[in-house]
Chains A and B, each alone.
Chain A
Amino acid sequence: MPQEMNKPGTTEITYRDAVREAIRDALRRDDRVFLMGEDVGHYGGCYAVSKGLLAEFGAARIRDTPLSESGFTGAGIGAAMAGMRPIVELMTVNFSLLALDQILNNAATVRHMSGNQFGVPLVIRMATGAGRQVAAQHSHSLEGWYAHIPGIKVLAPGTVEDARGMLWTALQDPDPVLIFENVMLYNMTGRLAADAGPVDIARAAIRRPGRDISLITYGGSLWKTVEAATILAGENIDAEVIDLRCLRPLDDATIMASVAKTRRAVIVDEGWRSGSLSAEIGMRIVEQAFWELDAPIGRVCSAEVPIPYPRHLESAAIPQVPNIVAAAKAVLARA
């Protein structure tokens, strides 16, 4: 994975360890914070994110739950309404569907429906994305669905800084925040400043500045897109890479400023194409920056199939570097 050079005052850390550090830091800073979910305690987290935290913080704050996604997600909502700051971990986005009633009908609605009397300062974390050959019930990317829902915020940390820094900011938010961690990022390493801390959760980030085309992406597709930009640079195409970071609300200003500069855009989204977040972003560009465009907008999305098991089919089903390169060149008419 491409990362910046060793900088002084930084250490190398995996994305997984960065998430764990974020959780540990939040538990130390605020007595109201606790982590709750399936296998977060004794097992250490199904992606080993919470390994060691049970011994450090005890079973009340690192709370193993039964396989009752709706029950414990609703419990997180209730505890948040009563003044706690729970972090609910749902193993994967596919399992989160069992808690969708609580997320949509309670967490997202309570503030508006109660006339602002009750809020739900809850953070829900879950893994998303394909690439581990775990087939069609563990590999989907449904963060775009969640980004459809008013009343919640949706984050997709793509870097170790964001994995480390987004959680605390999300816990300060008075409304429910969903954090999607792409499974292919857990083993990624990056350089993290020794004093790394909270980051904003409102703005997109330019991960690679460029003049010729805007490549708009997030999460697990971020580093594929950065790699594609490097390849494009070898062909004298200077691509700008936007990491959305926050999928709801979208940072329209950063997107439109980039498109106004490059006049071309490709959206890279691991969700299925139809009705996807990429569709939303594309439409916003059409609404807000149509006259800035020099070419039709391109998209690289997942194939419209349940994610299959064999590696070659799984790889073919989701965005990959060659597809991104090809899509960018097509938009630039540089076949």
Chain B
Amino acid sequence: MTALTDKPHLSREHMLGLLKQMIRIRRFEDKCAELYTQEKIRGFLHLYDGEEAVAVGVIPVLEARDRIVATYREHGHALVRGVPMTAALAEMYGKQQGCSRGRGGSMHLFDRATNFYGGNAIVGGGLPLAIGLALADRMRGDDTVTACFFGDGAVAEGEFHESMNLAALWGLPVLFVCENNLYAMGTALSLSESETDIQRKAACYRIAAEAVDGMDVIAVEAAARRAVHALRESGKPYFLECRTYRLRAHSMFDAQLYRDKAEVETWRHKEPIVRFQGWLEANHMIHPEDLARIEAEVAAEIAEAVAFGEAGTWEPVEQLTRFTYAEAER
């Protein structure tokens, strides 16, 4: 692992916490995939398998007052941010106890309590929103940070470039987190970008930018700490390219014709949980009972979430049009 020796203040407790969060996302999504095959979850389901170190490395560095804009592959971000697993899973069931009343589903988890501004399912569409959230904070003189997650596919959108320029031009406190998993759905980065070194694109807008091993949770956290520290000091944007890999299909409909199984296997050896767990074991920082405890706690939380989702109720059809517009106070 990188950076560990640079961060001696990282306690065993903290590192076990990081491991638990990654395992929590992985096991939760394994359950989601299972529920999808049972048709409990419908529509699109995009899993974060392999990319967990990004959300787990970045989000805990943020304060409660900070804001998050995410993509349609956002279950992990929501869980790490503190959206209850019960409400997230009920949302994927489409139940009215879901964090978006069941109206958004997997791709549109929203949560005002944690300043979680959604699951945006238009690639690149969340970037201008992040600009506006940060602009509001800038105009009020607040030192809030807006973290905006997006994939390498978004980099091809005009909204990416417009947003980079606006953030730099207006000096807005946005932490851009590019989750570069090398594929825009099924199109490899090398087939869609003339410049595949993504952080250079941000740098050319005069935004402080760096690339980090997105499969290494400690490296991501260290980079996020640098970034957020710099952001709060300067109020100016910062760009983190987290180089990662999606081990599962793009969505549940994807036959993965665009990549070799050998390539996926190569990345599986680098995957963040096994890697971090192995490092902790090699350094005698985790005991078998720690792992057993984490797995048991996560399993209990998932069981509770499934029970919550199952017990959830459907929004009455009579309420179909509610909240298309604001309602007068009742």
Contact = CB atoms under 8 A, between A and B. Distances in A.
A74 B103 contact: no
Contacts of A84: 135-136, 139
A66 B120 CA distance: 24
A71 B131 contact: yes
Contact of A78 (B133, B158, B323, B324): B133
Contacts of A101: 122, 125, 159
Chain A: interface residue count, which band? 35 or more
Given A66-B162, A77-B129, A82-B132, A175 B111 contact: no
Contacts, number: 139
Contacts of B129: 74-75, 77-78, 81, 106
Interface of A: 34, 60, 65-66, 68, 70-84, 86, 101-102, 105-106, 110-119, 150-151, 153, 173-175
B325 interface: yes
A70 B117 contact: no
A70 B110 contact: no
A222 to B, nearest CB: 26
Contacts of B130: 78
A114 B108 contact: yes
Given A113-B103, A113-B110, A118-B117, A68 B132 contact: no
Interface of B: 67, 98-104, 108, 110-112, 117-118, 120, 122, 125, 127-137, 139, 158-159, 162-163, 165-166, 169, 322-327
Contacts of B324: 111-112, 150-151
Given A81-B133, A82-B67, A112-B103, A105 B139 contact: no
Contact of A71 (B104, B118, B159): B159
By Cβ-Cβ distance, the 3 closest A-B pairs, closest first, are A78-B132, A74-B128, A71-B162
A155 to B, nearest CB: 14
Nearest to B136: A82
A102 B120 CA distance: 11
Contact of B110 (A34, A72, A86, A115): A115
Given A82-B137, A102-B125, 10 more contacts: A74-B127, A74-B163, A75-B131, A78-B117, A101-B159, A113-B108, A114-B110, A115-B102, A116-B327, A150-B324
A74 B323 contact: no
A170 to B, nearest CB: 13
Interface centre among B100, B125, B135, B158 (most CB of A within 10 A): B135
